[in-house]
Amino acid sequence: MTILHVSAVKNWGGGENHIENLCFELKATHPEVKNIVLCVENGLFHSRLMKTDITYETAPLAYNLDIRFSKKIIAICKENKVDVIHIHDPSAIALCIIADKLYSLPPFVFSKKTSFPIKKKKLTLYKYNYPKIKKYFCVSNETKRVTEESIYDKNKLITIYHGTNLKNKSTETPFLLREKFAIDHAKKIIGIIGNHIRAKNFETLIETVNIIINEEKRTDIVFVQIGNFTERTPELLESVKKYNLEKDIVFLGYTPNASNFIPQFDALLVTSQSEGIPQVIFESFYHKKPVISTSVGGIPEIIEDGVNGLLAPKHDPKVLAEKIIHLFDSPELIPSFTSISHEKQLSLYTTTIMAEKTLEQYKKIIDGKS
């Protein structure tokens, strides 16, 4: 079979990592499956794919509904006799629908990777309920629950956890955090990985750091944040300056293979206000690093507060700060948390499992059973 993966995202994030992992796994375990990725020309994903052996095509996307992108979808389907189009983001749905209006395309599947509710606007509901979409792959049960509210045929929804790729783990980084930033070995490094977007809610991150450093007067903790800068970045940096936290929180910006830095963390922090399940949590499970997170999206499905990690309500920097301090003041918790998480990750949350479940759905669609 031939699968066309369509991504209309210009940045690099967990969704694009999922596409890579899925293509790598299917090539390794099912070489009879041909995967082609269509991505935005000259975007970060394009740059990344150039360094892999994944088959890919590019198209310009100067604006959201750039017809050139839709025409490229048609051209790829004609040339490669595509069996299923796997759509990986909301923008790509509209581009595929436009293409389908111009040329009858094969069936679609859509990966819902966030727990954002689908807006009840007429055009949005039309897009998400387009009849060519045969399945919705939800990254968590919470994502599935939220998505169900706007999808007419609930039987089309299925949960497939993404997990992490056990075959490509690396701890190689261009520098060591402690060396580059002269971080004393007595200090704990809390890592935060994510692009500077609204969902990640780094405003809460800075409020949390302020409480720990300025109110609790902790001098044994430093924060390192890795991810793409955006239009939100200047305001975040201004907040850091306002609280005099320049020495306490480091913003690295985009760094390739950010998850390779996880072994250098003493803990991972997630401050999101909305998520599916962040890939970085699975990576931290693998590397046996404890996770402190907001209890949003599908995160409570994989972390039980006080059992294999610590959870706090969203938008609550006070509780997050308390959880961080509790973790480092009770170091005996860490081996238990990380051991349980590592076992769960190996048995339930791998890209091998994800790829097999995804392939099963492709086959059902091609066989007309879904």
Number of H helices, E strands in the chain: 14, 13
Max distance between CA atoms of the chain, in angstroms, equals 63
Region 330-336: what's the mean pLDDT? 96
- pLDDT above 90 coverage of the chain, percent: 90
Mean pLDDT of 24-52: 94
Q: What is the pLDDT of residue 46?
A: 94
Confidence of residue 298 (pLDDT cuts 50, 70, 90): very high
Residue 55's alpha-carbon distances to 128, 237, 266, 274, 276, in angstroms, are: 27, 39, 37, 32, 27
Q: Where are the domains of the chain?
A: 2-163+350-366, 177-348
pLDDT of residue 368: 84
CA neighbor of 278 nearest in space, from 296, 290, 261, 265: 296
Answer whether residue 370 shows pLDDT above 70. no
DSSP state of 212: I
Residue 88 has a pLDDT of 96
Helix (H) / strand (E) element for 194: namely: none
**String of DSSP letters for 15-39:** HHHHHHHHHHHHHHH-TTSEEEEEE
Strand ranges inside the chain, DSSP E: 2-6, 34-40, 55-59, 84-87, 108-112, 133-138, 157-159, 188-193, 221-226, 249-253, 267-270, 291-294, 310-312
Which is it for strands 188-193 and 267-270: parallel, antiparallel or unpaired? parallel
Percent of the chain residues topping a pLDDT of 70: 99
Beta strands in 113-264 (DSSP E): 133-138, 157-159, 188-193, 221-226, 249-253
* Predicted confidence band of residue 165 (pLDDT cuts 50, 70, 90): confident
pLDDT of res. 13: 79
**pLDDT tens profile 247-293:** 999 999 999 889 999 999 999 999 999 998 998 999 999 999 999 99
What pLDDT does residue 112 have?
A: 95
Q: What is the pLDDT of residues 223-249, one digit of tens each?
A: 999 999 999 999 999 999 999 999 999
Two domains, one topology: 2-163+350-366 and 177-348? yes
When pLDDT is cut at 50, 70 and 90, the band that residue 166 belongs to is confident
Whether 369 has a pLDDT exceeding 80, the answer reads: no
Handedness of CA 233, 237, 243, 246 (dihedral sign): positive
Burial class, 127, CB count within 10 angstroms (exposed 0-12 / middle 13-18 / buried 19+): middle
In this predicted structure, what is the pLDDT of residue 1? 95
Residue type, 249: I
pLDDT at 326: 97
CATH fold label, 2-163+350-366: Rossmann fold (3.40.50)
Name the H helices within 104-156: 122-128, 141-148
Helix (H, G, I), strand (E, B) or coil at 303: coil
Closest CA to 319 of 226, 211, 181, 198: 211
Angle between helices 317-329 and 202-210 (to 10 degrees): 60
Confidence band (pLDDT; 50, 70, 90) for 315? very high
Asked if 139 contacts 298 with a C-beta cutoff of 8 angstroms, the reply is: yes
Token pair for residue 331?
């170091």
Kindly state the average pLDDT of the residues 169-185: 93
Residue 196 has pLDDT above 80, yes or no: yes
CATH 3.40.50.2000 for domain 177-348, yes or no, is yes
Q: How many CB atoms lie within 10 A of CB 332?
A: 6
Average pLDDT value over all residues in the chain = 95
What is the rounded average pLDDT of the residues 110-135? 94
